[in-house]
Amino acid sequence: MAKVVLLSCTQAKLNKLSKAQDLYSPSPFFQTTKTIGESLKPDKTYILSSKHHLVPLDKLLEPYDMALKDFNKFQKKQWAEIVISQMNGEGIILEYDTFIFLTDNEYIKPLEKYIPEKNIKYLQYIK
């Protein structure tokens, strides 16, 4: 059983191609949640991105301007299905792994129906 920390992307970004963990570094929200996530000693940490879905911390990304809060219900469902597919591809087992969401509700709600409730830990950081 793995402990998976999920962080959310932020509007504040660097303006150049960067590793994901650096791209969002201008955001105090991201810096705080990343620090909390690291302190939990997870087996895996990912960023939930409105554009790129499930993102490893070291993946190179270009800056972008997109927010999950602007998605309609259908788009959020599609986004969640892609995230779940990526999790499966990463060897994450939804039925057994523990998911620690260090995000706002915008990123939790679309994924809740795919992950057993007993496996979700809501350690939300409120801005």
Listing DSSP states for 35-87 in one string gives HHHHHT--SEEEEEETTTEEEETT-EE------GGGS-HHHHHHHHHHHHHHH
The pTM for the full model equals 0.93
CATH number (domain holding residue 41): 3.40.50
127 in a structural domain: no
- Per-residue pLDDT reduced to its tens digit, 50-70: 999 999 999 999 999 999 999
Position 124 scores a pLDDT of 52
34 in a structural domain: yes
Share of the chain above pLDDT 90, in %: 92
Position 104 scores a pLDDT of 84
For residue 107, the enclosing domain spans 3-122
The answer on pLDDT for 127 being more than 60 is: no
Share of the chain above pLDDT 70, in %: 96
